[in-house]
Amino acid sequence: MENIKEIKTVKFQLETLTCPSCITKIEGVLNKEPGVDNVKVLFNSSKVKIEYDEDKVTSERLKELIEKVGYPVLKYSCST
């Protein structure tokens, strides 16, 4: 039997991203965080989609990390 992890997805709407290096910066900080499985930054719509293991990290923590590197999160939505 496979041990299935509890993977959740969260989407953050950011203020407008102005250049591709923003993506690198956001992905960099998130990929370093334990529990983060997959990060996708959508440049055109300024959204970040993150798959994460909720046993290791919270969406609140992910939001803080993004804001710490300089990108205010306007809103976010969770789904299981």
The binding site for Cu ion (CB under 5 A) comprises 19, 21-22
Longest pairwise C-alpha distance within the chain: 46
State the minimum distance, in angstroms, from the CB of residue 64 to Cu ion.
20
CB 7, min distance to Cu ion, A: 29
Decide: 11 and 47 in contact? Cβ < 8 Å: yes
d(CA 74, CA 12): 7
Pick 20 or 55: Cβ nearer Cu ion:
20
Instruction: Report in angstroms how near the CB of residue 40 gets to Cu ion at its nearest.
Output: 17
Q: Given the complex with Cu ion, which of 24 and 31 has the nearer CB atom?
A: 24
| Other CB atoms within 10 A of residue 3 CB | 4
